Every structure is written in structure tokens, then in C-alpha cells.
Amino acid sequence: MLEGRFIDYSSDNYYVSSYDSYLPSLAVGRIPTNSAEKLTAYLEKMFAYEDGDTIPTTGIKKLEFISGKEESDGDDFKERLAAFNNLGSSKYSKSFTDYADFGSHASLKSEILSKLNTQAPLIMTMMAHGANDNWGNTILDSDADTMSNSELPIVMSLNCENTEFYRPGNNTIGESFIFNPSGGAIAFLGANAQTTPAAQMYFANQFFRLFIEETNKTAHHISMGDIMQRSKVAMGEDNYTKDIVRSMTLFGDPSMPIPEGLFEPPPVPSNVNPVQGSAGGGCSAVGSENGQSGPSWPEGLLELFALFGIGYLLRRLQKRFLA
């Protein structure tokens, strides 16, 4: 247990940091169970995702942002998430859903479940008040156990205690998302301490910046744990954000690779022209004369004469030295 600004909490970050710095030096995640059945079921869920069976299809480049009910001054959930509309890549579409547009927890819950079932996004980010077993003060709670979405998002929860795994007997909403055998999420990122919206946004800004930066490159191996670890390091050491760095927890496999379909295709060299109209054979003397596929027939004949000349010289030299 670590001493926090508001409450004490347990931290996986402890295992990958040092006495000199609380910033993580390695990626770390947690599959929070001592049940062999749950562990096996989650691993099968991960294998299916890595095989491409449950990766979102139409929503593969969609980022969904959901803001909950604001209950005190300074929450500003909607305004904070709206800043992500300016993410620096046109590759990803963004969708924003706000509690105020629905007026009740039940209506917003219905909208969230509909989005998961009809077009699950690559990443679903939820910002609201929360507790260990619910998001947004019951906007989502036990529903995570019974979701039946066939395509699995990555869920990022920007509130309090959604990954509070260290209290015996508590089933967190993060666990419900990843252990749901017929839906839910493939990974869940959330704090297991009480943190502020501003501190949560510091982390989310770094996460999305790095995620977009990496997927704007050509295909290469980078994992969800790598992105999370680098996001924390990029925040630096600051007393205000210390709790979010140490308490932000990944429920899932930190080695889970980012889907290959998100990366940019390799560039096509601009100075390479395809051979067109070739008449066959291995010599340019019999190639096309369309100006694109090779030299004209006089140049081809010169190539042949040059080859014969080189062969003749090599034979003369061989005879001379052998003699």
C-alpha cells in the first residue's frame, strides 16, 4: 500500500519503478484473478483478439468519448473530453456522447450498450465520477458482466477506483469488463485510487499523443503496455500527478500488440517504374520501345556487344595466366 493524496492504495507501478523515481521502467499489467477458469477464459479471449476475430471492424479507427453527469464545480467532463476533437490525426474518427444529451443514467447506459453492440470503437474512453464497482455512479455497473458485444474495444476509464483490485471480496468494474466471456473489453485502463479530472487528463493526453504517433508509422511491434509505460514517463515527476502515474492500472496483457491494421502502409519508392510491354527473355534488346520498359533496340545491341567483348577478354586473360 502506498500513501496517496486522498486515500492509500496498492500499485503495480511499484514493481517497475525504483527508489530514485516512481516513473516505470517497464510495462506492467494485471490479470486480477486466482481462478484458473477465469485466467484460461481471458487468455482465450486474448488469443481470439490477436488472431483478428474480435478486433472492431467498422469501428477499427474510431475513438469514442463518453462524459458522465457533472456533480460539482470543476468537473467539466464534457469540455475536457472535447479537447480530444483536435487530436493530430485525420486517420481516426471521434464520437462524443454526453450525459446532458440524455438526461438520465438509464438512457445513457442504453446508448453505450447500443454503441458496443452495433459498432464497437477501437478505444472507448469514459470520464465521470466513479467507484470500484461502477462508472458514473451506476451509469454502468453489473451491466459489464452481461454485455454481449462480439467486437471488443480497449476501455479507458478516467475516474476513481475502477481498478481497485486489492480489497478482498470486491469485484471491480474493470474486472467485469475483461472477464466477461461473451463481450466487454479486451483491456481496461483505470485508476485504483482517488484522482482528479485534471490529473486523469494529463495521462490521457500523453496516451493518445503516443498512440497516434506510433500508429502513424509503418507497421512495427508495439504493445499496449509499452504505450502506457511511455505515457507515464512522458508525464514526468510532479506531486500533483504522482497518484495517477502510480495508480493507473492496466487490466489485461501488457504485451498485447497494437492491431496491425492501424499502421500506415510502407511507402512505394517514387523512382521505380514497373516494366510494361516486355516481349519476354532476359535481354533488353528484345524489350519494348515504349520509352518506359527499357532501352531502344540500338542500345540493346550495344549491351550485347559489350557482353561479348567482356567474355572474350576474360577468356584471353584466363589462357594467358594458365599458360
For position 283, what pLDDT does the model report? 37
- Average confidence score pLDDT of the chain: 86
Give yes or no for residue 121 having a pLDDT over 60. yes
For position 74, what pLDDT does the model report? 83
Alpha carbons 53 and 318: distance in angstroms, whole number: 64
Q: Which residue do the cell numbers 492501424 mark?
A: 262
Is residue 67 within 8 A of residue 98, CB to CB? The reply is yes
Give yes or no for residue 179 having a pLDDT over 60. yes
More confident residue, 286 or 87: 87
Cell numbers standing for residue 22: 516512481
Q: In what order do the strands lie in the sheet with 123-127?
A: 93-98, 62-67, 123-127, 154-158, 187-191, 248-251
- pTM for the model stands at 0.81
